[in-house]
Structure 1
Amino acid sequence: MGLFDTLRYKKDLERLEKSAREEPSTENFLSLIKKYISLGDQDNALRVAKQAVDQFADADDVFEIYCKLRRQQAQEEIETLKKNLKQRPTPSAFAQLAEIYKDLREDETAMKYCRQSIETFPNDDRSYCILGELRLRRFYSDFLRKDAQLAITHLEKAYELNIRNYRSLIALSKIYLQIGMVQKARQRLKSILLFAPEDENVKKLLDISANVPKPPHEDVDALLHQVESQRRLHYSLDRENAPVALSILSHEIFQEALESIKGAEGLLSLLICDEDGNLIARYAKENIDAHTYFEVTVAIYQTVQDSSRQMDVGRFQKAELEGPFGNIHIVSSDGVVYMAVGEFSVKSEILRKHLQQLLKAVSINAAKNTTKNR
């Protein structure tokens, strides 16, 4: 590479870094990541991909590229750890493998290594902590009380085994605070101050806890039942990104979002319903039987949802099917199910993009509506 090429690439990188920093978006991050990849700079590509995932956790295209880079980076470590487990298992090796798979969002594999560690080393706190964090991540996504109950059990066990387990204590403090168990949250936060008296994060959470509305009774089962039924936390520490209750989202918000992308390439129908299968809004191309497509897609969603519950893998997240009838993509988000039906010839990436645009449009409309009603 000549001097002028080097200067040009440097200028391009500076421009892309600035765009990602000052105007963060999936598009800007992906452009920067791909530029680093094209230059063979895997370390910086992974660094930026991690930043993108942290900011846009639900963006499939962002996580896909992060996962690929992370797996490439960790492959040798994974093989070494697996070899060590066969020859001489240690709780550290189990925990490291579980952490890697947790980062890759391969939760079942991560849980498998945690359980194996607990069977072999029942008095090591690390695997209990990771199991708790995995269950918590699922709970914050799906609001299923079973996940929260198991998360609390695992995290409390980690704390029991190691009273200085910071990760478990901070995770417990946050879950207790957000489901309404304020006193319990304060107890766990004060436990951290015993060995980390200057921790600013803990002090901030203690200040927040003073302003969290207290329920009449701090009963964990009752509070979790309420969270699951309402699909909302009692108090969200992430106030800006807390899901908007479905009950305050009007039909017009969804219909307006549909109108913004109808007629898109290869699209036959877009359908929106709640988790019980009640139609909220729909769009169908001319001469397309939207009712039949709705019945088919809802049946698919409900079947997969039931199976997910029975298999203990959380709520339904998404499904993609291809067949002679066309292509169907289904995504569940914040208690709303979005379904896109495309022509047989349309690529999955295109249909996936249509759904992402729909979710983004709903989010924008909901934010506008919330601001208007304040």
Structure 2
Amino acid sequence: MGLWSNFKANRELAEARRDVARARSPYSIAQFIDKCIELGRLDQAFEDAERGIQEFPESESLQEAYKRMIRAKCADDLKAYRDEIRTSPGPKAYYRLACLYKEMRDLDQAVELARKGMEDYPNYEGNYIVLADLRYERFQRDLRASDGLEATQLFEKAVDLNGENYRLLFQLAEIYRAIGARDHAIAKVKMILNFAPDDRNALNLLSQLKSAKAPKSNDLKEILQDFERRAAAGNFRKQGQLSARYVANPGQLERKLPSLDRMPGFQRVVVLGPHGELLAAHPGGAQSNRNEADTLKKMFAAAIDCSLRMDISTFEKGLFESEVGFTYLVVADSLQIAVLSNNKVKKEKLRQDVHRFVEHELYI
């Protein structure tokens, strides 16, 4: 890059940085990351993406910007691993490419490749671990017993294939401890001590586990179902930034909603809390939109349940079309946001406007 080009790039980055400083939100940070990618400043993009995701872990904008950044950063590896699968496929080739897609947060591709590797090479543990990691991520996010059970079954299959994988055994022991399956965790730590009898981390974990309260049942399915029940009662799930702010102060949320009046075709917005409770609506306020809220609560519940039955996916957004208009459902940090519009607006414009509202207006 020449001196003039470098000067111009620095000036553009400085302007993009000022935009973030003026109104810091996931949307503005994602715009800055995209500018870094465009100018080839991938190290800067990575630094800001990492910091942004720590600050706004629930943000769709930052997750998508992170994907684009990793894809640009790993372009050479992506090409090499794809070529390897095409020319000399093997279990590790599928594992490497699945791990790369997992890092890029392209979870559908990661699952597809890990499954293919598992089917073609069932005696290699790596692809079971990729699938187990992805399923456990969803369990941590949604706290559904079925996800936890499938994750542990996949991890156990990997252990059967390689009983001396230290990282795997330790990870599985900590997972069992987290869900209250003490005896299962102890069994995994003892497997580590069989081949690493002096390992300090394993010995410390074993000591902690032995002093912990024994579960009522050793049946893993029952333990996970009990964990799910306690999670549903609110004992585990932590509110994110948006939920914490607006559940505590729905009046502040209601004051934000009229900004959607500028959106072409806008008719109504209704926002429900993490448990489907009505927080705010516009126009007319929450009280005058109770009937609409009840209907939308059922729509969200059906969409969320349907998505959880699908492999890996969790419901984040969906556009429903009728003869008279569109209903756009978005889940943002456990807030359930429904925007209704007429059918004259273009679908992509509707998506863009709602996305900016959620990822920018609600955060500033």
Distance (whole Å) between structure 2 residues aligned to residue 205 and residue 233 of structure 1: 28
Q: 1:63 Cα shift?
A: 1.1
Instruction: Show the counterpart of 2:310.
Output: 311
Q: 1:263 Cα shift?
A: 1.8
Instruction: Show the counterpart of 1:350.
Output: 353
Alignment of 1:187-266 (within 5 A): 187-192=187-192, 194-195=195-196, 197=198, 209=209, 214-231=214-231, 242-243=237-238, 253=248, 255-266=250-261
Deviations 1:118-166 (A, max 9, x none): 2222211111111111110111112222211111111111122112323
Distance (whole Å) between structure 2 residues aligned to residue 306 and residue 57 of structure 1: 23
Structure 1 residues 283 and 76, CA gap change in structure 2 (3 angstroms): same
Q: Percent identity?
A: 21
State the one-letter code of the partner of 2:217: H
Distance (whole Å) between structure 2 residues aligned to residue 27 and residue 330 of structure 1: 16
SS at match of 1:178: helix
Q: 1:205 Cα shift?
A: 5.2
SS at match of 2:318: strand
Alignment of 1:144-183 (within 5 A): 144-183=144-183
Deviations 1:279-338 (A, max 9, x none): 43332214997356435534542443343244344543332457752552321655x634
Instruction: Show the counterpart of 2:143.
Output: 143
Distance (whole Å) between structure 2 residues aligned to residue 211 and residue 31 of structure 1: 50
Instruction: Show the counterpart of 1:86.
Output: 86
Deviations 1:197-220 (A, max 9, x none): 5565x5775576577654333331
Task: Give 5+ residue unaligned stretches, structure 1.
Answer: 237-241, 362-374
Distance (whole Å) between structure 1 residues aligned to residue 129 and residue 65 of structure 2: 27
Instruction: Show the counterpart of 2:280.
Output: 282
Distance (whole Å) between structure 2 residues aligned to residue 180 and residue 5 of structure 1: 55
Q: 1:225 Cα shift?
A: 1.0
Structure 1 residues 34 and 88, CA gap change in structure 2 (3 angstroms): closer
Alignment of 1:281-300 (within 5 A): 281-286=279-284, 290-291=289-290, 293-294=292-293, 297-300=296-299
Q: 1:42 Cα shift?
A: 2.3
* Contact residue 58 and residue 332 of structure 2 kept, 8 A: no
Looking at both structures, which has the greater relative contact order when contacts are Cα pairs under 8 Å and sequence separation is at least 6? 2
State the one-letter code of the partner of 1:154: L
Task: Give 5+ residue unaligned stretches, structure 2.
Answer: none
* Contact residue 129 and residue 154 of structure 1 kept, 8 A: yes
State the one-letter code of the partner of 2:102: K
Instruction: Count residues in correspondence.
Output: 344
Distance (whole Å) between structure 1 residues aligned to residue 181 and residue 105 of structure 2: 28
Instruction: Show the counterpart of 2:329.
Output: 329
* Contact residue 297 and residue 328 of structure 1 kept, 8 A: no
Q: 1:69 Cα shift?
A: 2.0
* Contact residue 142 and residue 314 of structure 1 kept, 8 A: no
Instruction: Show the counterpart of 1:110.
Output: 110
Distance (whole Å) between structure 1 residues aligned to residue 200 and residue 41 of structure 2: 36
SS at match of 1:94: helix
* Contact residue 125 and residue 158 of structure 1 kept, 8 A: yes
Structure 1 residue 71 corresponds to structure 2 residue 74: no
Distance (whole Å) between structure 2 residues aligned to residue 205 and residue 260 of structure 1: 50
Higher alpha-carbon deviation: 315-324 or 55-64: 315-324
Distance (whole Å) between structure 2 residues aligned to residue 290 and residue 235 of structure 1: 31
Distance (whole Å) between structure 2 residues aligned to residue 190 and residue 235 of structure 1: 30
Q: 1:70 Cα shift?
A: 1.7
Instruction: Show the counterpart of 2:100.
Output: 100
State the one-letter code of the partner of 1:351: V
Higher alpha-carbon deviation: 74-83 or 106-115: 74-83
Distance (whole Å) between structure 2 residues aligned to residue 38 and residue 199 of structure 1: 47
Distance (whole Å) between structure 2 residues aligned to residue 210 and residue 357 of structure 1: 48
Structure 1 residues 28 and 319, CA gap change in structure 2 (3 angstroms): closer
Instruction: Show the counterpart of 1:370.
Output: none
Q: 1:61 Cα shift?
A: 0.9
State the one-letter code of the partner of 1:337: Q
Distance (whole Å) between structure 1 residues aligned to residue 90 and residue 250 of structure 2: 55
* Contact residue 144 and residue 228 of structure 1 kept, 8 A: yes
Let me know the Cα RMSD of the aligned residues.
4.4
Give TM-score, length-normalised by structure 1: 0.72
State the one-letter code of the partner of 1:107: L
Distance (whole Å) between structure 2 residues aligned to residue 147 and residue 38 of structure 1: 38
Distance (whole Å) between structure 1 residues aligned to residue 143 and residue 77 of structure 2: 34
